[in-house]
Structure 1
């Protein structure tokens, strides 16, 4: 089960953090590392949503400022048996989206203007349903915790260089250099493995929430194509949040490998095609070619903001 695998990976990430602390300061260092991890996660638990939304310049909208988008989110949230999340818009040309929040009662869904301009209403519904699936699975909190611990491991590994001369507990010069390189790399691998596991689960649940797996499959193809061509400056300035987006906003991924923040789009589409056949839907979806949507996108609006206000 994906939850069991995720729990094992998260335990491994925590163990790695404590291991780096032990190399630096022995048993005391491991204890300090554990306390530090708890403190950082407690801070992230209460403030992660505000931090991430602020990083990406997301602006909250309501039924007056973006009636169609908010209505869509509300309808899909009812399908998912979730409380209505807050809705945000990011003024970015790259089509993308993410969800955040410590629990379903304090969740938020954020989409870019590029997403609304590039996708049809059905495709947008598929993306929103995917993000609601992350909320329903409590992935939003999990992703924040993994990012926090992974970042702390990198910081602690660099801090360990100051203790290379400690004969009792310090790892020494060679050990310190190895720790600086290998510990962050190992943390990154675990973080990415967790992210990929949860993306597949969110695709499956999202397809069930909107009832049409091919809506999400079509959206993934369009977003992936656009992500290769349209930069996301805010994501480039905050790469630690890349794993939260539905498609990696930093660069496209050609294969499902250890260093990918997301599964390959082709693999995700294939899984959705298989699910569509179970639903009795059309399984022969062909990935969309890169699009050059008109200024208002398929919604027919003449401004960058589109019909959402």
Structure 2
């Protein structure tokens, strides 16, 4: 796997997508102005000989209020996320608890692996947590920076992954922390919330009846397009950061079979219709997970790439699923 090349590609694509996100915000503000201008021209056409000019500072007010809604929504949402009590409190709300290495060999091994990966990555050690009620293979990382970060894995990962595979899953999650992906995702989520506020403002205006209904509907139409563009770009950024974290994991562990084995076992587990269902993940944390809800469809709103695509990028070819056994006797495939 050419992990340095793939990392560079993922970072370059992320930069382009973030710039497109900024253009989507600017385009929404300009679109609101044009929609309201069109409504004003239509009103003049209906009035016939009576012509009403644009109000003073029409452009500045339209664009300014739209940007105020977007940036205000971004500030409110990110402030709420910051005030939620930090990464550890968020992890506990999802169902995680702090690892207990003194009472479990599996959790002792997990803590040792986190220490090893953090030394290799030259980063502070995050808080290590476990989700004991989740039998499916999964993990997540959260935190605004490296000093307030959590890496959590499911009980299914502890039970079904080899030491090498557990290294791969931990390296992937530590990459998200090291690269600032969790902070970036939260910032983009705040911007999407801000774009949604444009639609909400139009909806409130429409309820006032009369001409306000026309102007409110125009704002809602533009706001919905802006929100959809923002959601698509947010999901695209999330997918690129997953590719980046996959490549980082292979770089730090120097093994394709670590993270590759995790993803191949996840394919087996997802294909097993008889496996016990896990407690439902909140949709708001889908982008934090190693394996998201919509990872198989390849849609524009999916926060994760399909498993088959991630596996091909790691190995350079398609690979078969692996059986759900914890076997540390298999030889590793070099990166």
TM-score (norm 2): 0.73
| Correspondence 1:172 to 2:215 | yes
SS at match of 1:263: coil
Return closer, same or farther for 1:162/1:205 CA change in 2, 3 Å cut-off: same
Alignment partner, residue 40 of structure 1 = 77
| Correspondence 1:13 to 2:21 | yes
Counterpart CA distance in 2 for 1:156 and 1:211 is 47
Alignment partner, residue 112 of structure 1 = 154
Return closer, same or farther for 1:161/1:120 CA change in 2, 3 Å cut-off: same
Alignment of 1:252-291 (within 5 A): 252-254=295-297, 256-274=298-316, 286-289=319-322, 291=324
How far 1:97 moved relative to its partner? 0.5
Return closer, same or farther for 1:197/1:285 CA change in 2, 3 Å cut-off: closer
Counterpart CA distance in 2 for 1:112 and 1:263 is 20
Return closer, same or farther for 1:287/1:171 CA change in 2, 3 Å cut-off: farther
User: Which is higher, the Rg of structure 1 or of structure 2?
Assistant: 2
Alignment partner, residue 95 of structure 1 = 137
Contact 2:70/2:195, CA 8 A, preserved across alignment: no
Alignment partner, residue 11 of structure 2 = 3
How far 1:60 moved relative to its partner? 1.3
Aligned equivalent of 1:163, options 181, 205, 220:
205
Alignment of 1:57-72 (within 5 A): 57-65=95-103, 66-72=107-113
Return 5+ residue gaps in structure 1 as ranges.
275-283, 300-309
Return closer, same or farther for 1:289/1:19 CA change in 2, 3 Å cut-off: same
Aligned equivalent of 2:119, options 78, 85, 89:
78
Contact 1:13/1:150, CA 8 A, preserved across alignment: no
220-229 vs 79-88, which moves further: 220-229
TM-score (norm 1): 0.78
Counterpart CA distance in 2 for 1:214 and 1:38 is 42
Return closer, same or farther for 1:167/1:186 CA change in 2, 3 Å cut-off: farther
Counterpart CA distance in 2 for 1:40 and 1:181 is 18
200-209 vs 111-120, which moves further: 111-120
| Correspondence 1:153 to 2:189 | no
Return closer, same or farther for 1:167/1:14 CA change in 2, 3 Å cut-off: farther
Counterpart CA distance in 2 for 1:169 and 1:67 is 63
Alignment partner, residue 244 of structure 1 = 288
Counterpart CA distance in 2 for 1:226 and 1:290 is 9
Return closer, same or farther for 1:178/1:54 CA change in 2, 3 Å cut-off: farther
Alignment partner, residue 46 of structure 2 = none
Aligned equivalent of 2:179, options 125, 128, 137:
137
10-19 vs 140-149, which moves further: 10-19
Contact 1:76/1:129, CA 8 A, preserved across alignment: yes
Provide Cα deviations, 1:197-235, integer angstroms capped at 9, x if missing partner. Answer: 111111001111111122111111212442455644331
Counterpart CA distance in 1 for 2:91 and 2:23 is 30
Provide Cα deviations, 1:101-160, integer angstroms capped at 9, x if missing partner. Answer: 111222110111112122222111111111111111111211222223223433442342
How far 1:172 moved relative to its partner? 2.7
Return closer, same or farther for 1:159/1:221 CA change in 2, 3 Å cut-off: farther
Aligned equivalent of 1:185, options 228, 237, 248:
228
Return closer, same or farther for 1:34/1:177 CA change in 2, 3 Å cut-off: closer
